[in-house]
C-alpha cells in the first residue's frame, strides 16, 4: 500500500507540476495581469479536499458497530493544525514570488531556475531531518545547481518583447527566491511529520494540506484586498483574449491543478522524503520545457540546452546512487543474518 500511495501521489505531483506553470503562463499571455489573484488561485481550491475526507469519514462510520458513536471528522491534532497554518503562510509568500517570476519569464526559463530548489532542499534537509547523502546524490545536486547558474549567465537573451532588463532581472531573482523558500518548506514538512505525536496516514496528509492551503489562501486574500483584485476580476474576464467563459474555466482548472501539485508533494514526503519529492519535481522539468516550447512557441536557446543536459545528468546520477545504496543495504542485511543466527546458541550456552 505504501508503494501504491507513493505512485498515486507521484502522478498527482506530475500533473500539477507540469500543468500549473503552463496554465499560469497562459493567464498572463492572454491578458491576465493580477499577481495576487493568480497567487491566490494556487491554493484557493482547497475545499475540494473535503470530498475525499467526507468519503473517508463515512467509511469509518460504517466500519464501526455503533452508528451513533463519536466518529471524528478531523483526525488532526492542535499541534499539527498550528504547524500547517505556519507552513501555509510560508507557502503563500513562496507562491507570490513564484507567480511574479512566471509573469516576467518564459515558462522554460522559470522552470529551469526552479530546478535549483533541489540544492536548497538538500541543504535544509541535511540540517533539519539529517538527510544522508552519497557521492551520487551530491553530484546530482551540483549538476542541477550548475544548470540553473548556466541559465542565469545569459538569461536576458529570451526576455519577452517590451520588458525591461530590470523587470526581467527582478523576475529571475524572485523566482530563485521562491525556489529557496520551497527548499526550506519541504524539509520542514518532513520534520513536522517525524515529530508528530500520532502516526501520519494519508487522511492526515490531506487534512494537513487543507490547512496549509487555507492559511496560504487567507494570506493571499489580504494582498488581493489591498490591491483591489476582487473588484477587477469581472472586468479582466470581459477583456480576456479568449473570452470571459474560457477565463473562468482557466481559473477553475488552475486552482484544481495546483491542488494536485500540493497534495502530491506532501504525499510523496509522507511515503518517501522531502528530497525525493523535490527530485520528482526536477525530473519533470524536461516535460514542462517541451510543452512550453510546443504550446507557447518559446525560444529554446543553446544555454537552455546546456542547462537541460546538466539537469538530465543530475537525474541519472541521483537515481543510480539511490539504486546502488539500496542494493548495498540489501547485501549488508543478507550478510548480517547468518552471523546473528550463529551467535544466538553460543550466547544461550554461556
Crossing angle of helices 285-296/107-114, nearest 10°? Answer: 170
* C-alpha torsion angle, residues 278, 76, 74, 258 (rounded to 10): -20
And the C-alpha cell for 126?
Answer: 541535511
Tell me if 307 sits within 8 A of 151, measured CB to CB: yes
Helices (H), the chain: 2-29, 35-41, 50-63, 78-104, 107-114, 117-128, 135-153, 165-195, 202-226, 229-239, 244-271, 274-283, 285-296, 302-349
Question: Burial of 335 by CB count in 10 Å (0-12 exposed, 13-18 middle, 19+ buried)?
Answer: exposed
What pLDDT score was predicted for residue 153?
A: 62
pTM for this structure? 0.83
What pLDDT score was predicted for residue 157?
A: 55
What pLDDT score was predicted for residue 269?
A: 94
Residue pLDDT, tens place only, 304-347: 677 778 877 887 887 788 778 778 777 887 877 655 444 444 43
What pLDDT score was predicted for residue 342?
A: 45
Intervals of the chain under pLDDT 70: 64-69, 107-108, 148-149, 151-164, 304, 337-350
Q: Rounded mean pLDDT of the chain?
A: 83
Tell me if 216 sits within 8 A of 92, measured CB to CB: yes
User: Which of these, 80, 109, 98, lies nearest to 40 by C-alpha position?
Assistant: 98
What pLDDT score was predicted for residue 319?
A: 75
User: Which phi-psi region, left, alpha or beta, contains residue 243 (left: φ > 0; alpha: ψ -120 to 50)?
Assistant: left
What pLDDT score was predicted for residue 187?
A: 95
Tell me if 131 sits within 8 A of 269, measured CB to CB: no
What pLDDT score was predicted for residue 348?
A: 39
What pLDDT score was predicted for residue 87?
A: 96
What pLDDT score was predicted for residue 91?
A: 96
User: Which of these, 193, 345, 199, lies nearest to 267 by C-alpha position?
Assistant: 193
What pLDDT score was predicted for residue 29?
A: 86
The domains of the chain are located at: 2-60+75-329
- The whole-angstrom separation of Cα 39 and Cα 318 is 32
Q: How far is CA 144 from CA 213, 262, 324, 330, in A?
A: 29, 22, 20, 29
- The whole-angstrom separation of Cα 260 and Cα 17 is 9
Amino acid at each position: 500500500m505504501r508503494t501504491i500511495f507513493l505512485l498515486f501521489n507521484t502522478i498527482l505531483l506530475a500533473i500539477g507540476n507540469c500543468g500549473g506553470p503552463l496554465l499560469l503562463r497562459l493567464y498572463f499571455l492572454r491578458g491576465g495581469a493580477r499577481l495576487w489573484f493568480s497567487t491566490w488561485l494556487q491554493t484557493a481550491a482547497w475545499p475540494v479536499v473535503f470530498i475525499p475526507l467526507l468519503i473517508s469519514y463515512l467509511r469509518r462510520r460504517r466500519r464501526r458497530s455503533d452508528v451513533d458513536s463519536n466518529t471524528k471528522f478531523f483526525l488532526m491534532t492542535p499541534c499539527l493544525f498550528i504547524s500547517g497554518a505556519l507552513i501555509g503562510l510560508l507557502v503563500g509568500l513562496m507562491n507570490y514570488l513564484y507567480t511574479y517570476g512566471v509573469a516576467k519569464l518564459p515558462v522554460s526559463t522559470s522552470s529551469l531556475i526552479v530546478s535549483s530548489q533541489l540544492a536548497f532542499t538538500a541543504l535544509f534537509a541535511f540540517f533539519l531531518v539529517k538527510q544522508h547523502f552519497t557521492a551520487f546524490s551530491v553530484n546530482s545536486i551540483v549538476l542541477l545547481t550548475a544548470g540553473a547558474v548556466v541559465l542565469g549567465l545569459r538569461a536576458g537573451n529570451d526576455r519577452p518583447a517590451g520588458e525591461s532588463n530590470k523587470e526581467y532581472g527582478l523576475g529571475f531573482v524572485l523566482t530563485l527566491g521562491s525556489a529557496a523558500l520551497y527548499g526550506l518548506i519541504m524539509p520542514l514538512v518532513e520534520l513536522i511529520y517525524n515529530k508528530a505525536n500520532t502516526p501520519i496516514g494519508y487522511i492526515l496528509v490531506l487534512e494537513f494540506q487543507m490547512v496549509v492551503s487555507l492559511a496560504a489562501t487567507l494570506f493571499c486574500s489580504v494582498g488581493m484586498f489591498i490591491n483591489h483584485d476582487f473588484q477587477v476580476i469581472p472586468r479582466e474576464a470581459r477583456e480576456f483574449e479568449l473570452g470571459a467563459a474560457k477565463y473562468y474555466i482557466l481559473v477553475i482548472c488552475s486552482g484544481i491543478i495546483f491542488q494536485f501539485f500540493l497534495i502530491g508533494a506532501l504525499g510523496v514526503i509522507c511515503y518517501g522524503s522531502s528530497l525525493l519529492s523535490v527530485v520528482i519535481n526536477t525530473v519533470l522539468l524536461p516535460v514542462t520545457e517541451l510543452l512550453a516550447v510546443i504550446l507557447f512557441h518559446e525560444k529554446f536557446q543553446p544555454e537552455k540546452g546546456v542547462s537541460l543536459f546538466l539537469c538530465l545528468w543530475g537525474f541519472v546520477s541521483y537515481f543510480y546512487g539511490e539504486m546502488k545504496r539500496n542494493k548495498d543495504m540489501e547485501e549488508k542485511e543478507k550478510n548480517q543474518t547468518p552471523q546473528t543466527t550463529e551467535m544466538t546458541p553460543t550466547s544461550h550456552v554461556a
